[in-house]
Structures are given as C-alpha cells and as structure tokens.
Chain A
Amino acid sequence: AQKVTQAQTEISVVEKEDVTLDCVYETRDTTYYLFWYKQPPSGELVFLIRRNSFDEQNEISGRYSWNFQKSTSSFNFTITASQVVDSAVYFCALGDVDYKLSFGAGTTVTVRA
C-alpha cells in the first residue's frame, strides 16, 4: 500500500523567511512518482513538480527547491524568501505505475506580511 505522511499540519512564517515542508512516503514499488501540488484558497490544485523514483537529482525552480532522498524515503520542499502569495495548502503525493496518486494530508502555509 502507498502512504504519504506530511507531519506538519500548519506552518506560519513572516514574509522573506524560508519554509521547508516535509514529506515521507512508503511504497513497495520499485518504480514510483512523487509530486507536489499547491492548493490556494480558491481551491484548485496547481502542479508544482514531478520526480521519478530513479531520478534523485534535486531541483530548483525560482524560489522553490526540492530535495529527494530515497534512502530516507523523503521528498522535501523548500520555499525560499516566502511571499504572501505562497500562502496555500501544499500536498505531497505518491503515484504508482498507473499514476494513481496517494496524497498526504497537506500542510497549510501562512505567510504573514
């Protein structure tokens, strides 16, 4: 069975602070996919990143960066120099070979001005 744990329920930071969101996953599959999605207050799910299980290369996209470590089954997400517009719920998800996603419970990020 696939399982995703986002231990942090809520994180509150002041603008320009960095924030790191933790994601730990469990799977018996050798091939799997990891995703991060952002859900702003308007409700839509916005795709942020996908990584394959065989690609542990970390990635940076603007103020966003992701650290994938298979040894610890973690796929953490960092927002650098946070902004008020980053306030949202962030979901980590684990996909199987059919790309069925198992989501974590989400982490609510509040960035205060």
Chain B
Amino acid sequence: DSGVTQTPKHLITATGQRVTLRCSPRSGDLSVYWYQQSLDQGLQFLIQYYNGEERAKGNILERFSAQQFPDLHSELNLSSLELGDSALYFCASSVERQDSGNTIYFGEGSWLTVV
C-alpha cells in the first residue's frame, strides 16, 4: 500500500460527459502529480501541484483541469469526454526531503472507460 488513495477505482461514462477523479496524497506529502496511461500513448505526465499551487504542466488537454485543495487532496476534472480519453489515470505524491531526495509513490489508479 503506497498510501496514495484514488477514487473511484473504476468508472464507465458516456461520451460528452464530465467526471471527477479524486486523490488523497500520502500523509505529509505536498506535491501531487497526475498521469495518464493509455495503450497508444503510454504513461504521460499531465500536471503537478505543490501545496495548492500549480507547479508544472505536461500533456494535459484543455478539456481537463485539476486543483489541489487546502487539505492537499487533489481532483482531476475531465470534461467533454471522448472515446480516446479511456485510460488509467494515476495520482502520485511526494515530499522533497533534503537528506534522501524525493520518492514518488503512485496510487492504484482510476480506470476510466468512455463508451
């Protein structure tokens, strides 16, 4: 158990709909990352938040957005869903330690199927 909690684990929705994926980071971790894993694109970085602020953006579509709340949990919002958005969405968290560097732990993922 990595300590990173993601909900829901599985989600099936129709094209055009909007879904929200939720992530609770490990206790004490300030950074949250979102990744998408699809068959054609592999594992891709979407976005990173650090202590409530957006820190880095990757290949995230404009239809997708994320935020990190004061309690450090994060949500990834996916709207106007298309068939190609079907993927496994991972959340990861980390804390930067001066002594041992950073280790990034992933949640179990949220399987999204768009039909």
* Inter-chain residue pair count (beta carbon < 8 A): 61
- Interface pick from A65-73, A76-84, A94-102: A94-102
Shortest Cβ distance from B102 into chain A, in angstroms? 5
B24 close to A (CB within 8 Å) = no
Give, as a whole number of angstroms, the nearest-CB distance from A98 to chain B: 5
B residues within 8 A CB of A106? 42-43
- Which residue of chain B is the closest to A105 with respect to CB atoms? B42
CB distance from B3 to the nearest CB of A (A): 11
Among B2, B33, B48, B104: residue with most chain A CB under 10 A? B104
Which of A11-19, A20-28, A45-53, A56-64 is found at the contact surface with chain B?
A45-53
In the complex, which residue of chain B has the Cβ closest to the Cβ of A50?
B103
Q: Does B78 contact A (CB under 8 A)?
A: no
- CB of B101 within 8 A of CB of A50, answer yes
Find out whether the CB atom of B104 lies under 8 angstroms from the CB atom of A47: yes
A-B CB contact pairs (8 Å), 30 listed: A35-B104, A37-B106, A42-B108, A43-B88, A43-B108, A44-B106, A44-B107, A45-B90, A46-B2, A47-B105, A50-B101, A50-B103, A50-B104, A52-B101, A93-B43, A95-B104, A98-B55, A98-B56, A99-B31, A99-B48, A99-B94, A99-B102, A100-B45, A101-B104, A102-B45, A103-B42, A103-B43, A105-B42, A106-B42, A106-B43
Q: Please state if A47 and B2 are interface contacts (CB–CB under 8 Å).
A: yes
Nearest residue (CB) in B for A98 is B56
A45 cross-chain contacts in B, Cβ below 8 A: 90, 92, 106, 109
Tell me the bound Cα distance from A43 to B101 in angstroms: 26
A91 at the interface (CB under 8 A from B): yes
Bound state CA distance, A106 and B106, in angstroms? 16
Docked pose: A99 CA to B90 CA in angstroms: 15
Residues 48-68 (chain B) with a chain A CB within 8 angstroms: 48, 55-56, 58
Q: Mark B82-96, 1 if CB is under 8 A from A, else 0.
A: 000000101010101
